[in-house]
Amino acid sequence: MTAAAMIELWRGGMLESVHAGHAVIYGPGGIEAAWGDPGQMIFPRSSCKMIQALPLIESGAAAAAGLSERQLALSCASHSGAALHTTAVAEWLGALGMSEGDLRCGSHMPGDKAEAKRLTCSDEAPCQLHNNCSGKHAGFLTLNRHIGGGSEYVEVDHPVQRAIKQAFEEVTGETSPGYGIDGCSAPNFACTVTGLARAMQVFAGANPEGGPREAAAARLARAMAAFPEMVAGEGRACTKLMRAMGGRVAVKTGAEAVFVAILPEQKRGIALKIVDGGTRAAEAAITALLIRLGALDPAHPVVEDLIPSVQKNWRGFVTGQMRLAPGFA
């Protein structure tokens, strides 16, 4: 099957651009709705960070380190590198008796404007704390200390990554055909869009009082929804959407236009991938699917923000609009 048209951009009464993709809504009984090819193999990228955090809790490492719900949300984050993020990661590492140099995620300029300005004006270089994955890596280090692994915890055959692969294959219900190296140097295991949606349903349907897997999944989903500012940051789609839904739903983006959602009240999971890697389309598509399921009020301002019915240029002139493609959502 080919990708399905999902998001359209119109200008001057003409269709200017179309974003196509694959999406699956997965409920307790299996696939409830799908667009494009549900069997399309993808890299989940950062959308699967809550899966990567499962061994952190299941191993007992989180409990041994006394991690808070806020820290667990940070372990699932692609944060903006704002002061609240870097400070939180630094304090977490300090409590472990570690420092920024123990991270293996690399450095980049933060997405947060205030922190980027501070670094630029002070001629201070960004460090690994600013990496959007530093919270995930703090989680890796916590698990690694608990199990006594070597320092190179991002290597695919390291016990940390072996534990993550096992959890990943169990919740997706698939044997991963391979992996790529993510921007933060950790392995990113491939799965189908259906497998990723199935995994989100595992989180959505998890019983907090159940066994180790269910308790861990429920706790991570709850932490993400409770601390949306830690998962992304001010002005970011993940944070805005979770706030708009009042902490009832957890959502997470991934590079190259992957997006997932965990809906505990409905016991449903969503996964989608826009094939051209366009972030604006992934944000619009997940918004549309959340509206479809009644989780997001279509009148909430975040909807107009992410699916703008009116687009304006820098002088305020109306130039076009974004629409859902016929047959999508």
Cα Rg of the chain, angstroms: 19
Q: What is the pLDDT of residue 234?
A: 97
Residue pair 273/24 in contact by the 8 Å Cβ criterion = no
Count of residues making up the chain:
329
Tens of pLDDT, residue by residue over 15-24, are: 999 999 999 9
In-domain check, residue 329: no
In-domain check, residue 189: yes
In-domain check, residue 190: yes
Write the DSSP assignment of 131-187 as a string of letters.
STTHHHHHHHHHHHHHHT--S-TTSTTSHHHHHHHHHHHHHHTS----EEE-TTSSE
Residue 97 CB partners (closer than 8 Å, separation 6+): none
Number of structural domains (the chain) is 1
Type of residue found at 237: A
Helix-helix angle 279-292:237-244, to 10 degrees: 10
**Helical spans, DSSP H, in the chain:** 49-52, 54-58, 61-65, 69-75, 83-95, 113-122, 134-147, 159-172, 193-204, 212-226, 228-231, 237-244, 279-292, 301-306
Q: What is the pLDDT of residue 295?
A: 98
Angle at 283 between CA 24 and CA 107, to 5 degrees: 110
Structure tokens that stand for 88 in this block: 């939180």
For 135, list phi and psi in degrees, rounded to 5: -70, -45
Q: What is the pLDDT of residue 123?
A: 87
- The low-confidence residues of the chain, meaning pLDDT below 50, are none
Tens of pLDDT, residue by residue over 186-208, are: 999 999 999 999 999 999 999 99
Residue percentage of the chain with pLDDT more than 90 = 99
In-domain check, residue 183: yes
What b/e readout covers 185-197, taking b as 16+ CB neighbours within 10 angstroms?
Answer: bbbbbbbbbbbbb
Tens of pLDDT, residue by residue over 293-309, are: 999 999 999 999 999 99
In-domain check, residue 261: yes
Q: What is the pLDDT of residue 1?
A: 76
Tens of pLDDT, residue by residue over 75-106, are: 999 999 999 999 999 999 999 999 999 999 99
Could you tell me the residue range of the domain that residue 51 belongs to?
4-324
CATH number at residue 158: 3.40.710
